[in-house]
């Protein structure tokens, strides 16, 4: 029986592992299918403290993993299919095996929703991005597009005004679902233009970077093309929590409901983007990873 199983190997899970391992809990991390999480999909991270020159996302993950191992964390490969509470303990079913643990931290993250285009995959990180806070600074003085009509799209567009010369929001309907105040800020910003009723059909480029988008007006079916150096997708996130249905309490979008990382199930904790639809930053994920490990340690101590 493991003391503590941490499901997910992104920065939240690895930070939880470093803290739990240093508390001598000998945690076991179950890596999941997208080992290392969203940072593995980023290039330079320039907003994580202590790296004034920036650090590559995958390098950050590799260092955190090394640090977790150094203090005694063990890693299981494999994807978790199910977590069940059996008496006081938890049974975790992966594709390969069953693992029992006294406490569990869920740190499975969230995945940015994609449009599902081949061209969007081709230009991923070569102009196609999902985080303006992370990658907006690469487009100083350039033209960029933002896809979406919710609060995230508004926030991304407003953030991009710090760097880009011109921002075009492309939205599939004729009104935003974002909060009024965010809409007002966007519509009142002279750097931001909106293309309503528009669907992105293709991301175009020169093979190494994005140069434009092919659009279709959903009302008139008219096709058009715009020039852009980047496309930031802000069409929602999908928390990776489907395997928890019936165990943890989830909100209507699937995010884990937790207070100070504690879920309603004794011994089950949540850290990082799987329980955070608001901040979604590497530093906040690491912060809640630390909190979850401290809470798990207290929980395990109270049961001795
Ligand atoms: P969201 O509210 O679900 O909005 C997603 C947007 O993307 C919608 O406008 C939707 O269009 C569009 N969309 C979805 N799938 C699409 C597709 N396949 N193709 C084209 N467009 C697509 O997601 P969100 O903006 O990430 O916000 C999530 C939650 O976090 C919300 O509750 C939001 O209020 C909250 N949030 C709050 C803040 C804040 O308070 N500062 C910041 C960010 C997020 P339709 O409108 O046509 O459905």
Strand partners, 239: 110
258-278 pLDDT tens trace: 999 999 999 999 999 999 999
Q: What value, to the nearest 5°, has the Cα angle with vertex 105 and ends 243 and 88?
A: 85
Contacts of 2 (CB under 8 A, 6+ apart): 26, 27, 28, 99, 100, 101, 102
CA 176 to ligand 1 centroid distance, Å: 9
45-60 pLDDT tens trace: 888 999 999 999 999 9
Ligand 1, residues at Cβ distance < 6 Å: 113, 115, 147-153, 155, 172-173, 177, 234-237, 277-278
> Which of 110, 128, 180, 236 most suits a substitution to test ligand 1, by most atoms within 8 Å of the C-beta?
236
- Are 49 and 55 spatial neighbours (Cβ–Cβ below 8 Å)? no
**Residues assigned a catalytic role:** 131, 134-135
Confidence band, pLDDT 50/70/90 cuts, at residue 42: confident
236-247 pLDDT tens trace: 889 999 999 899
- Are 63 and 37 spatial neighbours (Cβ–Cβ below 8 Å)? no
What is the DSSP code (8-state) at residue 256? B
Which atom from ligand 1 is nearest to the alpha carbon of 151?
A: 25
Of the candidates 75, 76, 53, 65, which has an alpha carbon nearest to the alpha carbon of residue 18? 65
Report the 3 state secondary structure along 110-166.
EEECCCCCHHHHHCECCCEECCHHHHHHHHCCCEEEEECCCHHHHHHHHHHCCCCCE
pTM to 2 decimal places: 0.78
26-39 pLDDT tens trace: 999 999 888 999 89
Between CA 289 and CA 273 the distance in angstroms is: 10
- Are 40 and 61 spatial neighbours (Cβ–Cβ below 8 Å)? yes
Q: Which domains does the chain have, with CATH numbers?
A: 2-111+237-302 (3.50.50.60), 114-233 (3.50.50.60)
Q: Over 90: is that where the pLDDT of 299 sits? A: yes
């Amino acid at each position: 029986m493991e003391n503590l199983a941490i499901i997910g190997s992104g920065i939240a899970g690895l930070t939880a592992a470093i803290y739990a391992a240093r508390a001598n809990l000998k945690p076991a991390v179950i890596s999941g299918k997208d080992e290392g999480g969203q940072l593995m999909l980023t290039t330079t991270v320039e907003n994580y403290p202590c790296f004034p020159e920036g650090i590559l996302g995958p390098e950050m993950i590799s260092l955190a993993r090394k640090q977790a191992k150094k203090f005694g964390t063990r890693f299981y490969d494999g994807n978790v299919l199910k977590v069940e509470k059996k008496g006081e303990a938890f049974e975790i079913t992966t594709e390969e095996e069953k693992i029992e643990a006294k406490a569990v931290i869920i740190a499975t993250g969230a995945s940015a929703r994609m449009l599902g285009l081949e061209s969007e995959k081709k230009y991923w990180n070569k102009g196609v991005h999902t985080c303006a806070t992370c990658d907006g600074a690469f487009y100083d003085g350039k033209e960029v597009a933002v896809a979406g009509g919710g609060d995230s799209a508004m926030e991304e567009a407003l953030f991009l005004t710090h760097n880009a010369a011109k921002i075009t929001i492309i939205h599939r309907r004729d009104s935003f679902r974002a909060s009024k105040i965010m809409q007002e800020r966007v519509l009142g910003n002279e750097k931001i233009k909106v293309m309503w009723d528009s669907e992105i059909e293709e991301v175009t480029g020169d093979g190494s970077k994005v140069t434009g988008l092919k659009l279709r007006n959903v009302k008139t079916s008219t096709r058009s093309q715009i020039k852009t150096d980047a496309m930031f997708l802000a069409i929602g996130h999908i928390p990776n929590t489907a395997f928890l249905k019936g165990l943890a309490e989830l909100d209507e979008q699937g995010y884990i409901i937790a207070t100070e990382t504690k879920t309603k199930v004794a011994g089950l904790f949540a850290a990082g983007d799987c329980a955070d639809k608001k901040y979604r930053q590497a530093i906040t994920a690491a912060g809640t990873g630390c909190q979850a490990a401290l809470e798990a340690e207290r929980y395990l101590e109270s049961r001795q």
